[in-house]
Structures are given as structure tokens and as C-alpha cells.
Structure 1
Amino acid sequence: MINIVYRLKSPKFFEEAIDEIELDGVIVRPTYLSICQADQRYYQGSRPAEVLEKKLPMALIHEGIGEVIYDSEGNFKSGDKVVMIPNTPLEDDVCRPNYSQCSKFRGSGFDGFTSDLIKMESDRIVKIPDDFNPYVSAFIELISVAYQGISRFDELVITPKNTLGVWGDGNLGFITALLLKEKFPDSKVIVFGKHLDNLNLFSFADETHQIHTVPDDLKIDHAFECVGSSASQSAIEQIIDLINPQGTINLFGVSEYPIPVNTRMVLEKGLTIQGNSRSEREDFVGVVETLKQNPKLFQYLEKLVTNVCEINSLNDLKEAFDKDYISNFGKTILQWNK
């Protein structure tokens, strides 16, 4: 079957390519996709030159949903709505697939979802209800990243979790704080950020503070860093200062450059630092079940949808990336009409 793939050839330049797709496994037609900061780093050319040279041309986007049009094994029906899992695990008996260096991840050296059709294995898709909000469903992958980090934290933590601090007033900080409040309703969730306009949207949090106006006597039991980039350094410094002994620091933010850490205070307080990246099938299933059981979460998550762009051409795709780039909060959703 002929398939058209829309790849980023060089920063800010997309091209069409014709590929053959075999009729085995599950064939999915993308319907709604979501732009991630990782996609923007490729589009803007802000990754190191050697990385761009190695990975481009490549189809972007690893967050999205679609409709099944064919399943050779009959596990899914034509028209089933599914969320697509971008991680493709290879054999590794030691690591979870999302941490295995053997796994392949779509939109990172392996074509993402910007194509007419996607060939998936049946364990790489999870069915979602027809009545799920499609705009929010488009970024279930991002929600699943927060979900898996919180699940690992819950397995690891040994001290009380009375007060949980979330650093970052962006998309991931919003989602992480929301899931923490849902999973630990008796815990106090405090959000720390720079932008007052963003912090005002965290209505579900127990407290919000701008990072330069934190009360002197405030302490937290555990922290979740969702800042990323070079700003991670100041966030981690503040976390180490405010966290109680034997707390955990859960890192979600991505930086292109090394971030200094005050190891003296990490040792003195006996802190545990946990890195979190990507997610796996059980996390997607967990998010879908959580949304089924708590549909009110959609009311909060809808606040993250700031742009919806219909994509009928490569120029539409370029304009959507440009529009997303100037937004300092929220998700840009692509209504994929290709």
C-alpha cells in the first residue's frame, strides 16, 4: 500500500516522501496529533548540529491518536479510536522498555506520526472511548510520562508525602500536579513557577508560589522538577534548599547541557534523585483508565489546549509549528486531515 510520509528534511523545511506500507499488523490513520518541545527542538534546529545531521530527514510527532483502518489479526475493528504508543521496545531483560537503549522511539531517529498511515503492532496501541475529548487525547503520551514517574515515585518513597512540591508552571508541571492531586488527595500539592498567569490556571493545587516569593518557613517532603533547559539548575537548587531529609527529587525536565547539582546537601539530607523519561504500555493503559474513572479531569486538561490547527498541506504544518513556538503555555493540536 502506498503511504505518504511528511518529514522534516532540515530545520523549518518539510518534504513529502512516498513509502510502501505492508498490510500486516495494525494500520492506523492519524486524526489528532500534538506538538512537543522535543519536536520544536528539531524544527527550530536547536539540537546540536551533529544530532540534526544524524537524525534528519525524519517525520516528527510522538503524541497522537488515530482510527484503525485495518488489523490483520482482528484484535481491533475498523473505526476503533486508539492512542498510539511511540516507543518500540526490543529485547532487554534488565530495563523497562522506556529506559532501554535498545528501544526505538518515534520522532527521535525513527519516523514519527506525520504520515497518511501508520503501521503499528497491536501492543503499540490502546483503545480509547469514542467520547474522549480528541484534543486532550492527542497528548495522552505526555500525560503517561507524568503517570509513570508518579507511579515509580510511589513505589520508591519511604518517608511521609504530606507536602508535594511541583516546580514548573508549563504543560508538564500542570499535568504532574493534577495527577498528584488525583492520586494523593490527602497530600498538599504546592506548585512553584515564574509566570503568574500560568500559576492562576492551577486551581486544583493547594498552593501556588512564584519562585522569588516563597515563604521562608515553607518545607516540602518530595519534589517534582518539570522545568527543563538551563532553568533546571535554579529549580534544583531551590528544591534541595526546601526539601526535608530523605525526600525524593523526581526529575522530568530535559536539558541539552549539564546541570550542576549541590551534592554536599544531597548527601547531608540523604536525598534520592530519580530520573523519569518516556513511558510504556502500562502507563498508557493507566492514563486511559484514570480518565475513564475521573472524567472531570478533562475539564482541567482542556485548559492546556491553546491552539487547534487543521493540517491539509505542508504549509499548514509549518504554520502550526511557528504558532506553537510563540506560545509560552499550552499544547498545539494538529487536526490531521492529510
Structure 2
Amino acid sequence: MINPIYRLVAPRRIEVSYDVRSLKDDRVIVRPTHLSICHADQRYFTGNRSAEALAKKLPMAMIHEGIGKVVYDPAGRFKVGTKVAMVPNSPVDSDEIIGENYLRTSRFRSSGYDGYMQDYAFMKADRLVELPGSIDEEVAAFTELVSVAVHAITRFDSIAHSRREVFGIWGDGNLGFITALLLRKIYPKARLIIFGKTQEKLDYFSFASEVHHIERIPRDMKLNHAFECVGGIGSQYAVNQIIEHIDPEGTVALLGVSEDHVALNTRMILEKGLRVYGSSRSTPADFQKTMDLYEQYPDVPKYLANLVSSVHDIRCIDDIYRAFESDLTNGFGKTVLKWNM
């Protein structure tokens, strides 16, 4: 079959190309229905990456957050019409120690490999996770981002010591909101403290125990563990604030992506005996845990609905441009695309 793919060929320039795909392999064919724009997509769209990176990765179909409906499964594993979340990580190797999302050989959609901006996505069955029947599709569109937070918390659970009475979350954006919300459900008795720089965003964290502006943190603030969800050059200041306020032998989770090297107070990391770990992307198991959380805590998707800032009906390439330009002015929340190409 002929599959139209909408690829970014240069900053702010998308062109359609046509791939011929066989129906004889074992791939499940999924029609994308709802997609969500990520900061990484915006960096490619605006050209806010190095010339070397752009030359290496373009042309490329963007978007790695999305859901769709199964239209064909040669092995009958999914019924036609089944709503699924699509896992963007595609491993080509396996390792008994290293997770598939950390293997350097793994392929990741919309990062050098075509994402979901195409009429049909050809997926391995193990890269699809069925959605709960009641989930809001606009919320489900950014399940991948939620699964990243689930993955980070799962790793935290296996690394950190058992004193989990006070958590600090640095970052008042989408990832900070999601991580904090999940921590509230998983550790309901813990004191949950959010640190950010925009009061309007901090107001969304109604489930938190406390919120603090990063320039007005009490000197006697103490934390057992902390999650950094800032990214960019701001992560340098966030992590150093964490190092200042975290108790000895606490665990620091780094989730924010930065294009720049950042300077950290390694002396105090050593003196306090801190555990610092990085967490990136997610696996099908994390997607399934996310679905289980959606069903176990029905108010989680309701809270996540606060992140849906705008929804764009996509019927032509100009609609894609308008959605990405609109997303650039979005200070908080996710831009969702209803994929009707």
C-alpha cells in the first residue's frame, strides 16, 4: 500500500512523500487519531538544534506522542478499531542489564526516525498498548509523556532509601505537573512540595502540600528526595538548589533535557552522599503501568485534562504549521492535534 508521510525537510518546511509498504509482514497498521506536540518537536520545527543535528536527522516525520486505531493486524492480536497508545522506542537489540530505552542502538520515533505524522503507522505488536475504554482521547494523546514520569518513579522506587516523607519537585511545567500528580497518588501520605518560577503555573498544583517560588525558598527547607523537571540551562540552578536543601543520602532524579552542559556542586553531592540518576524515555511496561494508573485513579486523567491547552483539527499541511506556531505561544499545557489528514 502507498502511505503518505509528512516530513520536516527544513525548519518550518514540511513536505509530503509516499512510501510503499507491504501488507505481508507482521506489522500492525494503526491510523493515528490524536497526536501531541513535544518540546523536542518544536526544536526541530524551529531549527533550534545544531546544523549538524538537523543535517543528520532531517528529513523526518515529527511527533512521538500519539494514539490511534488499529485498522489491520495480520496475526489477529488486536481487533480492528481498537484504540492504542503507540510506543515510540524501537529496540533492535536486547541486554540483560541495560533497559531498551537506554540502549544506544535503539531507534526512537521523531528523533532521526519517522514519527507519527503519517496516514498510517506500521508498528510491531509489542509497541502497542490498548487504551482504557473510558479515557479522554485528548488526554491519552500525551500518554507517552506520562509514561516517562512513570518510568522515572519506577526507577526511583528501586534506587532510593525508604524514608519517603518529603518530596521536592523542581519545575512548574508539564513534566513537573505530571510527575507531582503521580507522586501524590503513589505516595499519598508524603509531603509534596513544588518549586517553580511562575505563580500562574504553580496555581495548577492544587494537590500539592506546598508551592514555593524558586527565589523565595525557606532556608530551613529540608527534603528526603527530589525530582528535577526543569531542563535547559535552568536545570543547573534547579539541581544546585536541590543539593542545598536535600537531606544526606537522598536521591535526585534528573528528568529535564538540556542542550547545554551544566555545572553542578559536586562537592556537596559527595559530602551528602547523594544518589543522582538520569531518566529518559520509557518502555511498553511503563505504558501499561500508566494505563493501570488511569484505571486505578480515575481522577488522574481528569487532572491531566488541565494540560490540554489547545486542540487543532489537522486536514492539510498548513494546519500543521498553524498548530506548531500556536504551540510556541503556549506557556503551559499541551497542544493536541486531531489527525484527519
The two structures have a TM-score, normalised by structure 2, of: 0.98
Q: Which amino acid aligns with 1:114?
A: M
Equivalent runs, 1:13-162 vs 2, <5 Å: 13-23=13-23, 24=25, 25-93=27-95, 94-162=97-165
Check the 8 A contact 1:245/1:271 in 2, yes or no: yes
- Cα deviation, 1:307-330, whole Å, max 9, x if unaligned, reads 100000000001100000111110
Q: Which amino acid aligns with 1:45?
A: G
Instruction: Give the CA deviation at 1:218.
Output: 1.1
Q: Which amino acid aligns with 1:80?
A: T
Hey, what's the Cα distance between the residues in 1 that align with 2:301 and 2:240? 33
Check the 8 A contact 1:34/1:334 in 2, yes or no: yes
Q: Percent identity?
A: 51
Hey, what's the Cα distance between the residues in 1 that align with 2:161 and 2:258? 28
Q: Which amino acid aligns with 2:171?
A: G
Check the 8 A contact 1:92/1:102 in 2, yes or no: no
Larger mean CA deviation between 80-89 and 151-160 belongs to: 151-160
Hey, what's the Cα distance between the residues in 2 that align with 1:180 and 1:294? 12
- Cα deviation, 1:18-39, whole Å, max 9, x if unaligned, reads 1112213200000000000000
- Count of aligned positions: 338
Q: Which amino acid aligns with 1:320?
A: A
- Cα deviation, 1:154-198, whole Å, max 9, x if unaligned, reads 111114111000000000000000000010011111100000000
After superposition, the CA RMSD in angstroms is 0.7
Hey, what's the Cα distance between the residues in 1 that align with 2:287 and 2:301? 16
Equivalent position of 1:2 in the other structure: 2
Instruction: Give the CA deviation at 1:92.
Output: 2.7
Larger mean CA deviation between 88-97 and 23-32 belongs to: 88-97
- Cα deviation, 1:236-258, whole Å, max 9, x if unaligned, reads 11100000000011000001010
Unaligned segments of structure 2, at least 5 residues: none
Instruction: Give the CA deviation at 1:303.
Output: 0.4
Is the counterpart of residue 234 in structure 1 residue 237 in structure 2? yes
Q: Which runs of 4+ in 1 moved over 4 A?
A: none
Instruction: Give the CA deviation at 1:128.
Output: 0.7
Check the 8 A contact 1:27/1:118 in 2, yes or no: yes
Hey, what's the Cα distance between the residues in 1 that align with 2:245 and 2:254? 16
Hey, what's the Cα distance between the residues in 2 that align with 1:309 and 1:216? 45
Q: Which amino acid aligns with 1:18?
A: Y
Q: Which amino acid aligns with 1:32?
A: H
Instruction: Give the CA deviation at 1:274.
Output: 0.6
Q: Which amino acid aligns with 1:2?
A: I
Local SS of the residue matching 1:129: coil
Unaligned segments of structure 1, at least 5 residues: none
Larger mean CA deviation between 22-31 and 220-229 belongs to: 22-31
Local SS of the residue matching 2:230: coil
Cα–Cα, structure 1 residues 305 and 78, in superposed 2: closer, same or farther, change >3 Å?
same
Q: Which amino acid aligns with 2:284?
A: R
Q: Which amino acid aligns with 2:16?
A: E
Hey, what's the Cα distance between the residues in 1 that align with 2:89 and 2:182? 22
Equivalent position of 1:307 in the other structure: 310
